[in-house]
Structure 1
Amino acid sequence: MVKQTIQIFARVKPTVRKQQQGIYSIDEDEKLTPSLEIIVPHDLADGFVNNKRESYKFKFQRIFDQGANQETIFENIAKPVAESVLAGYNGTIFAYGQTGSGKTFTITGGAERYSDRGIIPRTLSYIFEQLQKDSSTIYTTRISYLEIYNECGYDLLDPRHEASSLEDLPKVTVFEDPDQNIHLKNLSLHQAATEEEALNLLFLGDTNRMIAETPMNQASTRSHCIFSIHLSSKEPGSATVRHAKLHLVDLAGSERVAKTGVGGQLLTEAKYINLSLHYLEQVIIALSEKHRSHIPYRNSMMTSVLRDSLGGNCMTTMIATLSLEKRNIDESISTCRFAQRVALIKNEAVLNEEIDPRLMIIRLQKEIQELKDELAIVTGEQRTEALTDAELLELEKLITSFLEDQDPESRLEVGTDMRKIHHCFHYLKKLLNDKKIHGKSTVSSEIKDQDCQEPLKEEEYKKLRDLLQQRDNEISILSEFNGMGRGRRQRKGGEEGRQPRR
C-alpha cells in the first residue's frame, strides 16, 4: 500500500504577443517547495473580495514555465505514474484550467509537429516499449475513451459516432456494485496489441470530440474526456493476475460564463461544464476536511467515474494549466486555489492482484473431484463406468516405473479412484504370479544343470558325513546337559519345600 497526497504541478502557457503579459515570479529554491507568485494589477484588484491584496503565492511540486517542452512534461509528470501502473497500481493524471490555457495540448498534444505529442501518445509509446522488453510476463492492453458532454456519457470509440447524431448514440451510464466499485455500461473496451493500434484508437476518439469556437479559444473542447488504459499482466504458470488502469483526463475549460460571452448552445454547454466542475470542487473540499463523513461523489457523472482517483485506490497527479496574461489573472488565481485544495487529499494505492478466475475454476473442479473420490472410498461406492484403454496403459506405466525406482521413499500416486486402485492390485498380482512361474522354471533348470555335473568325489562325501555326525553328537550332548540341569533345579525346589517352618 502506498499512501500519498495528490501530486500537483503547474504549467504556464506561453503568452500571445498581442496580449499584455501578467506579472508573476517562480521561486525554485532547492531547500523549499517551489512556489508561484502572481501579482495582481491595480486596475484588476476591484474584482476581488480582498481588493487590498496585491500578490498571491502558491506552492507546487514543480512549476514549468513557458519554455518547458512536451518531453520535459512527460518525463517529470507522466512517466512516474506510468511506471506505477506497470507495477500494478492504478493511476490518474488530469489537467485543470481555463479555456485556452493548454489542457488539451498538455494531455493530447498538437498535430503540427511530432515533438508536440502530449502525455497520452507519449505514455502509450512508453508502456508498449516496456512491455516488449519484459518477455517473461503475458500482458493484455485495452483502451476506452469516454466523453462527458452536458452531464451525459458517450463512447468516443463507438463506430456509429460519426454517422449518428450525439443524441442517437447509446449513453454511457454509471452503476455501483455491492462493494461500491464503479462500472460503466455501454463503454466499449478495445484491445490494442501494438502501439500503432492504441494510437489509432486515440485518433478516432479525438476526431469524435465535441469542439467549438468560443471567444476564449478557437477550438475549445466542450466536454470532459477520459482516456483509459487497462493493463493486465500474468506470469506463465502463475494463478495471480495484476490489473491496473490509467486515466488520462482532459477537463473542459473552467471559466466564468459571463466572461465567455457566449449564448445559445454554447451557453448551455458552459453551464454544464461549470456545474460539473463545481461538483468536482465540492468533492475536493469534502475530502480535504478530516471529519467529513459523506463525500458527494454521486452529484455528477465525472466525480462518479473518478471516484477511485480522488481519495481512493489510485496514484493521482494534477496539472494546473495557467494562462498568465493580464486579462486571465483572476482565472489563473482561481485555478491555483483549486490546486492547493487538491494537494490536501490523501490516496491509498493498493497493488491490484487477484486469482485468475479460470485457474480458480480448474482448481476448484479438481478439489471437488478429489472430495468425491475420498467420499467413494469411505462409502465403498464404486463408479460403474470402466477405465479406458489409455487410462489402463498409463496406470501400468506408473506401476512399472514405481517398481523400478530404487528410492525407498518413492510412492505410487494413482489418486483415490477405486477403479484405478483395484486395477493396480490386479496388475501387481499378475506380475507376482508371472515371477513365480518364471522362478520355478529357473529352479528346475538349475537342478537339471546340477544333474549334468560330475558326481561328488569320495573324499568330499566322507568329510560331509563326518561333519554331520559331529553336529549330531553336539546336539545330543547339549540335550543331555540341558536335562540334567532341569532335574537339579526340581530336586532343589523339593528340598526347600520340605524344610520345617520356623
Structure 2
Amino acid sequence: MVKETIRVYARVKPLGRRQQAGIYSVDNDEKSLSSLEIIVPRDLADGFVNNKRESYKFKFQKIFDQEAKQDVVFDTVAKPVAECVLAGYNGTIFAYGQTGSGKTFTITGGAERYSDRGIIPRTLSYIFDQLQKDSSKVYTTHVSYLEIYNECGYDLLDSRHEASRLEDMPKVTIMEDPDQNIHLKNLSLQQATNEEEALNLLFLGDTNRMIAETPMNQASTRSHCIFTIHISSKEPGSATIRHSKLHLVDLAGSERVAKTGVGGHLLTEAKYINLSLHYLEQVIIALAEKNRSHIPYRNSMMTSVLRDSLGGNCMTTMIATLSIDKRNIDESISTCRFAQRVALIKNEAVLNEEIDPRLMIVQLKKEIQELKDELALVTGKQRTSELSQEELLQLDELIEAFLEDNDPDSILDVGVDMRKIKYCFVHLKVFLLNIAEAGEEELKKLKELLQQRDNEISILYEEKNNIWV
C-alpha cells in the first residue's frame, strides 16, 4: 500500500502576441516545494485607498514556466505515474484550468510538430517500450476513451460517431456493484497490441471530440474526456493476475459563464461544464475535511467515474494550467486555489492482484494427482476414488468382529485410508440408529403392555367392589 497526497504541478502557458503579461514570479527550489507568486496590479478605478489583496503565493510540487518543453513535463509528471501503473497500481493524471490555458496541449499535445506530443502519446510510447523490454510477464493492453458532454457519457471509440448525430449515439451509463465498484455500460474496451494501434485509437477519439470556437479559444474543447489505459500482467505458470489502469483526463475549461461571451447551445455547454466542475470542487473540499463522512461523488458523472482517483485506490497527479495575462489573472488565482485544496487529499494505492480461477483449478488438479502418486508410492497400491467390492467386504467383516468383541479395549484398525475411515463411521452410525429405532419400538410395546395391565387391574377392582355391595 502506498499512501501519499495528490501531487500537484503548475504550468504557465506562453503569452500570445496581443496578450499583456501579468506580473508573476516562479521560485523552483529543488529541495522543497516550488512557489508561485502572482501580483494583482492596483486598479486606479477603485480609488486612492485600495484595500484589495495585491499578492498571492501558492506552493506546487514543481512549476513549469512558459519555456518548459513537452518532454520535461512528461518526465516529471507522467513517467513516475506510468511506472506505478506498470507495477500494478492505478494511476490518474488530470489537467485543470480555464479555457485556452493549455490543458489539451499538455494532455494530448499539438499536431504541428512531433516534439509537441503531449502526455497521452508519450505515455503510450513509454508503456509499450517497457512492455517489450519485460519478457518475464505476459501483458494485455486495452484502451477506452470516454467523453462527458452536458452530463452525458459517450464512447469516443464507437465506430458510429461519424455516421450518427450525438443525440442518436448510445449513452455510457454508470452501474455500481455491491462492493461499490463503478462499471461503465456501453463504453468499449479496444485491445491495443502495440504503440501504433493505441495511437490510432487516440487519434480516432480526438477526431470525435466536441470542439467549438469561443472568444476565449478558437478550438475550445467543450467536454471532459478520460482516456484510460488498462494493463493486465501475469507471470507464466502463476495463477496471480495484476490489473491496473491509468486515467488521463482533459477537463473542459473552467471560467465564469459571463466571460465566455457565448449564447445558445454554447451557453448551455458552459453551464454544464461549470456545474460538473463545481461538483468536482465540492468533492475536493469534502475530501480535504478530515471528519467528513459523506463525499458527494454521485452528484455528477465525472466525479462518479473518478471516485477511485479522488480519495481512493490510486496514484493521482494534477496539472494546473495557467494563462498569466492581465485579463486572466483572477481565473489563474482561482485555478491555483483549487490546486491547493487538491494537494490536501490523501490517496491509498493498493497493488491490484487477483487469482485466475481457471488457472487455480488446473493447479489444484495437478496437486491432487501428485499427492495420489506419492500415496501410491508409499502404500504400494494405486488408489482410486471408490473402494472396491473386495475392500468393502473386508471392512464389513472387521466392523462385525469389532461389534461382537466384548473386550472394552479392542480397536477397529482400518489404517490411514480416509475412504475406509469414512465408510466405518457411516456403517457405525447406521448401526446405532437401528439400535435406537429398535429400542424405541421395544419401549412402545412395553408401554402398551403396561397400559393393558392397568386396564385389567381396574376391571378386577370394579368387579370386586360390586361383589361386596
Give the Å deviation of 1:29.
3.0
Give the Å deviation of 1:128.
0.3
- Output the CA distance in 2 between the equivalents of 1:54 and 1:202: 43
Alpha-carbon spacing, 1:175–1:334, altered in 2? closer, same or farther (3 Å): same
2:385 pairs, out of 410, 417, 421, with 417
Alpha-carbon spacing, 1:263–1:366, altered in 2? closer, same or farther (3 Å): same
- Output the CA distance in 2 between the equivalents of 1:215 and 1:365: 68
Matches within 5 A, 1:63-462: 63-362=63-362, 414=382, 416-418=384-386
Alpha-carbon spacing, 1:45–1:29, altered in 2? closer, same or farther (3 Å): farther
User: What residue in structure 2 maps to residue 465 of structure 1?
Assistant: none
Give the Å deviation of 1:358.
1.9
Alpha-carbon spacing, 1:190–1:411, altered in 2? closer, same or farther (3 Å): farther
Give the Å deviation of 1:418.
4.0
Which amino acid in 2 is paired with 1:152? C
How does the TM-score come out when normalised to structure 1? 0.73
Which amino acid in 2 is paired with 1:98? Q
- For the 8 Å contact 1:144–1:188, the answer to whether it is kept is yes
Which amino acid in 2 is paired with 1:35? S
SS of residue paired to 1:213: strand
- For the 8 Å contact 1:414–1:420, the answer to whether it is kept is no
Over residues 166-210 of structure 1, what are the superposed CA-to-partner deviations in whole Å (9 max), with x where a residue is unaligned?
Answer: 010100001111101010000000010011000000000000000
- Output the CA distance in 2 between the equivalents of 1:232 and 1:45: 61
- Output the CA distance in 2 between the equivalents of 1:244 and 1:412: 50
- Output the CA distance in 1 between the equivalents of 2:284 and 2:338: 8
SS of residue paired to 1:255: coil
Alpha-carbon spacing, 1:414–1:277, altered in 2? closer, same or farther (3 Å): farther
- For the 8 Å contact 1:138–1:234, the answer to whether it is kept is yes
SS of residue paired to 2:360: helix
- For the 8 Å contact 1:221–1:252, the answer to whether it is kept is yes
- Output the CA distance in 2 between the equivalents of 1:420 and 1:299: 67
- Output the CA distance in 1 between the equivalents of 2:274 and 2:71: 31
Which amino acid in 2 is paired with 1:157? L
Over residues 196-241 of structure 1, what are the superposed CA-to-partner deviations in whole Å (9 max), with x where a residue is unaligned?
Answer: 0000000000000000000000000000000000000000000000
- Output the CA distance in 2 between the equivalents of 1:300 and 1:135: 42
- For the 8 Å contact 1:125–1:195, the answer to whether it is kept is yes
How does the TM-score come out when normalised to structure 2? 0.78
Give the Å deviation of 1:43.
2.4
- For the 8 Å contact 1:8–1:318, the answer to whether it is kept is yes
- Output the CA distance in 1 between the equivalents of 2:170 and 2:52: 52
Give the Å deviation of 1:364.
6.7
Stretches of structure 1 that go unaligned for 5 or more consecutive residues are 375-394, 403-408, 423-502
- For the 8 Å contact 1:45–1:54, the answer to whether it is kept is no
Stretches of structure 2 that go unaligned for 5 or more consecutive residues are 391-469
Alpha-carbon spacing, 1:414–1:176, altered in 2? closer, same or farther (3 Å): farther
Give the Å deviation of 1:362.
4.0
User: What residue in structure 1 maps to residue 436 of structure 2?
Assistant: none
- For the 8 Å contact 1:88–1:353, the answer to whether it is kept is yes
Count of residue pairs brought into register by the alignment: 387
- Output the CA distance in 1 between the equivalents of 2:100 and 2:185: 32
Give the Å deviation of 1:52.
1.9
- Output the CA distance in 1 between the equivalents of 2:380 and 2:119: 60
Over residues 67-95 of structure 1, what are the superposed CA-to-partner deviations in whole Å (9 max), with x where a residue is unaligned?
Answer: 00000000000000000000000000000
- Output the CA distance in 1 between the equivalents of 2:7 and 2:103: 17
- Output the CA distance in 2 between the equivalents of 1:415 and 1:158: 57
Alpha-carbon spacing, 1:420–1:287, altered in 2? closer, same or farther (3 Å): farther
Which amino acid in 1 is paired with 2:56? Y
User: What residue in structure 2 maps to residue 28 of structure 1?
Assistant: 28
Give the Å deviation of 1:135.
1.0
- For the 8 Å contact 1:234–1:240, the answer to whether it is kept is yes
- Output the CA distance in 2 between the equivalents of 1:306 and 1:157: 20
User: What residue in structure 1 maps to residue 445 of structure 2?
Assistant: none
- Output the CA distance in 2 between the equivalents of 1:411 and 1:128: 54
Which amino acid in 2 is paired with 1:29? D
- Output the CA distance in 2 between the equivalents of 1:33 and 1:331: 22
Give the Å deviation of 1:28.
2.0
- Output the CA distance in 2 between the equivalents of 1:352 and 1:421: 51
- Output the CA distance in 1 between the equivalents of 2:128 and 2:213: 35
Which amino acid in 2 is paired with 1:128? F
Which amino acid in 1 is paired with 2:122? R
- Output the CA distance in 2 between the equivalents of 1:26 and 1:33: 11
User: What residue in structure 2 maps to residue 468 of structure 1?
Assistant: none
Over residues 292-314 of structure 1, what are the superposed CA-to-partner deviations in whole Å (9 max), with x where a residue is unaligned?
Answer: 00000000000000000000000
Give the Å deviation of 1:359.
1.7
Give the Å deviation of 1:419.
7.9
The reply on whether 1:58 has 2:97 as its aligned counterpart is no
Over residues 309-337 of structure 1, what are the superposed CA-to-partner deviations in whole Å (9 max), with x where a residue is unaligned?
Answer: 00000000000000001100000000000
- For the 8 Å contact 1:414–1:421, the answer to whether it is kept is no
- Output the CA distance in 1 between the equivalents of 2:380 and 2:352: 41
Give the Å deviation of 1:414.
4.5
SS of residue paired to 2:218: coil
Alpha-carbon spacing, 1:231–1:101, altered in 2? closer, same or farther (3 Å): same
Alpha-carbon spacing, 1:411–1:160, altered in 2? closer, same or farther (3 Å): farther
Alpha-carbon spacing, 1:413–1:74, altered in 2? closer, same or farther (3 Å): farther
Give the greater-gyration-radius structure (CA).
1
Matches within 5 A, 1:3-18: 3-18=3-18
Query: Among the aligned pairs, what percent are the same residue?
Result: 82
- For the 8 Å contact 1:120–1:248, the answer to whether it is kept is yes
Give the Å deviation of 1:348.
0.1
SS of residue paired to 1:341: helix
Over residues 406-449 of structure 1, what are the superposed CA-to-partner deviations in whole Å (9 max), with x where a residue is unaligned?
Answer: xxx86768554348999xxxxxxxxxxxxxxxxxxxxxxxxxxx
Calculate the aligned-residue CA RMSD, in Å.
2.5
- For the 8 Å contact 1:288–1:341, the answer to whether it is kept is yes
